[in-house]
Structure 1
Amino acid sequence: MKILTLSSRIITQRSPRVRGFTLIEILVVIGMLAILSTVVLIAVNPLRQFAEARNSQRQNDVGTILNALGERLADNGGSFLQPALTRNDSCVTSLPATSTDIAKIGPDLRPCLVPTYMSELPRDPLNGFNKCTTAGCSGTGENYDLGYTVAQDATTGRITVCAPSAAEPSIASSTSFCLTR
């Protein structure tokens, strides 16, 4: 006959201890992750990254518009106006001498450039809007403002296309971007 004592009974009836994380350990890890993610977010600065991406797009768009204008001038013997036999009457006859918005109510470049020199006019990634669905924007309510400006120097004939919205508030040293040819 086996005699069990009270102390042996308690020892034998106990289940093995389950190992795990305590609440304090979990809270400490969560706090460390929060601090680490905050430091990474500050270092990466997503607002600045997005602003730089928009400015890069603006630089490409300004170059594209300027190239299309240059091709049109080259095709028409240095004149913006087409010869009378192939004239598109909805096209502007000349570019403005002062910096003017490229828009339906400004110098409407769409009928001059689309679809011959580019498939569609690019718009500013933040401030431009384009509601045209057909070349020339002939219907009512079809309006656009690219968010870019154009000017042609009267004496030299050089064309300048600018992106005034390139002065992003999240980039301290940013200014408007212009390209002249």
Structure 2
Amino acid sequence: MFKTKNLSLASGRFSRGFTLIELLIVVAIISIIAAVVFVALDPMTRFRDSRDAKRWADTTAILSAIKIDQVDNGGNYMAAVGNMVVGDIYMIVDGTPATPNCVAGNTFCDTDVTAEAVAGDHCVNLGELVQQGYLGSVPVSPSGAGSWGADLTGYTIEKSATGILTVRACESENTTEIKASR
């Protein structure tokens, strides 16, 4: 039969390896995959989202506990909520604050607590909801820019003239404002 010679291999002009185009395509694909993974796994955004999710859950839990207490008490709010001035915004606390200064968190709040005439007069103690079993504990906002605790929980409450309560989280990191109203 016929024998043929592969001149290109015999002459040594061509050797095995990757061409420049093949290398560029591989680098481009790896770059695209790295960019997608970085965007998908952006950890700071995920942490902010998880803190905001907890704040949403806490505002709803606080509001639900107050409303269930109201239903159980013949339509009357507990004393701490019933004594609130209509339209004023109060910081929710657990117990009596050691240093009553409920406007101290305004630096970090999306909606400021109303200015206090007397220190502590714009704190509302929801510890009674825990004592009566409506809440396991008074929620404390996860720390973002501010540092929260029992004295300043990072949640505010407002009562409207029509009796609608609005509970807000002081901080919101990946959304405009976190609030629940009923």
2:180 alignment partner in structure 1: 179
Unaligned runs of 5+ in 2: 1-26, 101-122
1:123 alignment partner in structure 2: 140
2:166 alignment partner in structure 1: 160
Instruction: For 1:69-80, list aligned pairs within 5 A.
Output: 69-80=66-77
Deviation at 1:38, TM superposition (A): 6.6
Which of 78, 84, 103 aligns to 1:95? It is 84
Query: Runs of 4 or more off by more than 3 Å in structure 1?
Result: 34-39
Q: TM-score, normalised by structure 2?
A: 0.58
Q: TM-score, normalised by structure 1?
A: 0.58
Aligned pair in 2 of structure 1 residues 59, 81: CA closer, same or farther (>3 Å)?
closer
CA distance in 2, matches of 1:148, 1:96: 17
Letter in 1 for 2:54: Q
CA distance in 2, matches of 1:60, 1:42: 26
Deviation at 1:95, TM superposition (A): 3.2
Unaligned runs of 5+ in 1: 1-30, 83-90, 131-142
**What's the CA shift string for 1:47-93, capped at 9, x where partnerless?**
111111111111100000000110111122222246xxxxxxxx565
Deviation at 1:115, TM superposition (A): 2.5
Letter in 2 for 1:152: K
1:64 alignment partner in structure 2: 61
Aligned length: 123
